Amino acid sequence: MDNSLIVIALITALLPLAGSLIAGLLGKKLGDVSSHRIAISLVGISFLLAIFLFKAMVIDAVPAVEGTIYTWATAGTLSFDVSLLLDRLSATMILIVLFVSLMVHIYTIGYMAGDPGYTRFFSYVSLFTFSMLILVLANNFLLMFFGWEGVGLVSYLLIGFWFNREAANFGSLKAFIANRIGDIGFLLAMGAVLLYFNSLSYHTVFQQVPAVVGKTMEIFPGYNVDAISAIALLLFIGAMGKSAQIPLHVWLPESMEGPTPISALIHAATMVTAGIYMVARMSPIFEYAPSVLSLIMIIGGTGALFLGLLAIVQNDIKRVIAYSTLSQLGYMAVALGASAYDAAIFHLVTHAFFKALLFLAAGSVIIALHHEQDMRKMGGLASYLPVTYLTFVAGALALCAIPPFAGFYSKDAIIEAVSLSNLPGAGYAYFCVLTGAFVTAVYTFRMLFMTFHTQSRLDESLRGHIKESPWVIWVPLVCLAIPSVFAGQMLIDPMLYSHPTILGNTIFVLPEHDVLGHLAAEYQGAKIMALNAGLTLPFWFAIAGIFTAWLFVVMRPEWSTRLVKRFPIIYKILVEKYGFDAFNQKVLVHGTVDAGHVFYDVSDVKIIDGVAVNGSGRLIRWMAQAGRSLQTGYIFHYAFAMILGVAVFLVWYMGGHPS
């Protein structure tokens, strides 16, 4: 049974790779229709296999299994294997990844129809899915890093898919570079793990963590730090790049330059949540690094609130949802820092549904408006796009954590969990996530009202041509809307409070950090939780946010203009995104270019070329000219030189041998 499950897991991962190769290499010969049918069918089969694996690991409670496919290399006692781990956590993740990926594949048929890169796009999306599955199924750091870099590479290709657009090229390069910065931390963490544990296998490393606690690592001569804390910090730096935590968040809004289907795939259940998954997987390491957990809470809380504020001033519908993703990733990071790893994965799951729904619904609007993304040119679309509108409302209510929608249960669990944490920084993080509930509702319903309500601001040439998207667009919306409504109430018990939970013993939490255990004592069921929402602050913060958006967008839109004029400095700070992009461009990008020019002009041109190369030539030429001037051809000149030489020699000799 063990080997058969590993084989099924391997097939689950390889089927999207096969679809990618077929669409990429044979797409022109097969044609668009055959290519997308093959790619979607293979991802669909993978999804069915993922359901089977989830049933085996979670419902039937089969113990975790791992198996080596082949060995990459050996070095002494070290062995670097392509080895898979199938347990409750990986089975849950591959199910979510493949469900969202399947919806995106189907949606792509309608969204990318007629695009000259149609089959290439399917190839990239399937390859992206394969890379994410490898990342999740890996049972060692090295194979995880392979999948980690795979999603990074394919995201670069997908964000820059329309490579004839300068903005797309800029966005893809920005994403690639920002992720490489985080990857340096991951690589250094792998080196430290290898140094202290002599293995890259999860099982071996996690077993040895208590033995390494207390050991130190010499960073600089005479300066030692706790080894476990250093490894955890380096791992989190890697997660900061993938999961777009401050200050490595700058790439994610720029990824909106890619086609909408990949925006949904990157921002929902795959790339950006890879860092969240990685930290949860490494919980046996992070639990012994409380200082790093505090840092994660502080960074996550800052992102949840302050990056959410940026969405309020955005007018591009996709960028509003992008900044929403940054904020929600902050919530997940706060849960990780509070040791509520199960709650972080729970929010990852619910967020995958409603965020993919919002992106794809936004794409439906964009298609209907002939690729118009500016909300200031929308309005009154509810009557034109009824299915898109209803599904968008479901996603918006889930994002705002309004009961009984999915986001309510996962977000409320995070807010309550961090309120119970005793780690330094928990109070600040609680303030951020609580205030973030208000901010989330403001930008979400501002987007909803500006797009679907208010007076129509549509171009006159579009009004008579707007119609609901074809079925390949709205069917995935409906399929995602259903779990956006019901997944929270269905999953909260098994995800957080059952014994065992869906994730079971794949998550390790020290007793003193078990905030979810304290929450379980007060939990009375999903229905009671929804009915008692009116007694909680997050609910009323969300309601206040919705009312504020309605007031400023629908009832008194002129108040928004007055507010901007009243607080121009704050508005400018938000529009300029706190200066992160300007700093990166002026200091890092232009600074690097200027430093390159300085090194070229001084080191290369003046020192190497001017002194070392050309200077040596000029010296020899000067010596040759000087020597040539001495060769006059007159005998008396040579006789004089000889007499002068003898005189100098005699003076030197007599000076050295006085009588």
In tens, the pLDDT along 420-441 reads 999 999 999 999 999 999 999 9
In sequence order, what are the residues at sequence separation of 6 or more whose Cβ sits closer than 8 angstroms to the Cβ of residue 353?
100, 268, 398, 406, 480, 483, 484, 487
User: What is residue 539's predicted lDDT score, i.e. its pLDDT?
Assistant: 94
Reply yes or no on whether the pLDDT at 462 is more than 70: yes
Tell me what pLDDT residue 645 has. 82
**166-180: pLDDT as tens digits:** 888 888 888 888 888
For residues 426 and 337, give the distance between their C-alpha atoms in angstroms, rounded to a whole number.
Answer: 9
pLDDT at 77 over 80: no
Query: Which of the pair, 465 or 565, is modelled with greater confidence?
Result: 565
Opening angle at CA 235, ends 230 and 236, nearest 5:
100
Specify the higher pLDDT residue, 406 or 640.
406
The mean pLDDT of the chain is 88
Give the span between the Cα atoms of 442 and 432, in whole angstroms: 15
pLDDT in tens, 382-405: 888 999 999 999 999 999 999 999
Point out the least confidently predicted range of 52-56, 102-106, 250-254: 250-254
pLDDT at 617: 79
Q: Judge whether residue 2 has pLDDT over 70.
A: no
State pLDDT tens for residues 109-143: 988 888 888 899 999 999 999 999 999 999 999 99
Give the residue-averaged pLDDT of 641-654. 83
- Rounded to a whole number of angstroms, the CA Rg of the chain reads 31
Give per-residue pLDDT as tens, 559-575: 888 988 898 899 999 98
Q: In this predicted structure, what is the pLDDT of residue 259? A: 84
The span from the CA of 286 to the CA of 229, in Å, is: 8
pLDDT digits (tens, 9 = 90+) for 210-253: 998 888 887 778 788 889 999 999 999 999 988 889 888 888 88
Q: What is the pTM of this model?
A: 0.89
Higher-scoring residue by pLDDT: 631, 287 = 287
Positive or negative, the CA dihedral 471, 476, 480, 482 is: positive
Answer yes or no: are the C-beta atoms of 272 and 240 closer than 8 Å: no
Please, what sign has the CA dihedral across residues 632, 638, 639, 644? Answer: positive
pLDDT at 137: 94
**Cβ partners under 8 Å of residue 649, min gap 6:** none
Exposure string of 223-262, with b = 16+ CB inside 10 Å and e = fewer, is eeebbbbbbbbbbbbbbbbbbbbbebbbbbbbbbbbbbbb
CB within 8 Å of 17: residues ≥ 6 apart: 126, 127, 130
Q: Confirm if 475 and 387 have CB atoms less than 8 A apart.
A: no
Is the separation of the CB atoms in 316 and 446 below 8 Å?
no
> Would you tell me the crossing angle of helices 406-420 and 515-522 to the nearest 10 degrees?
120
Confidence of residue 1 (pLDDT cuts 50, 70, 90): very low
pLDDT category of residue 591 using cuts at 50, 70 and 90: confident
- The contacts of residue 122 (CB under 8 Å, 6+ apart) are 19, 20, 23, 27, 35, 36, 39, 105, 108
Helix (H) or strand (E) holding 66: strand 65-75
Sign of CA dihedral 6, 8, 11, 12: negative
CB 405 within 8 A of CB 355: no
C-alpha–C-alpha distance, residues 564 and 555, integer Å: 17
User: How many Cβ atoms are within 10 Å of 605's Cβ, its own excluded?
Assistant: 12
Looking at per-residue pLDDT, the higher value among 155 and 608 belongs to: 155
Over residues 300-308, mean pLDDT: 94
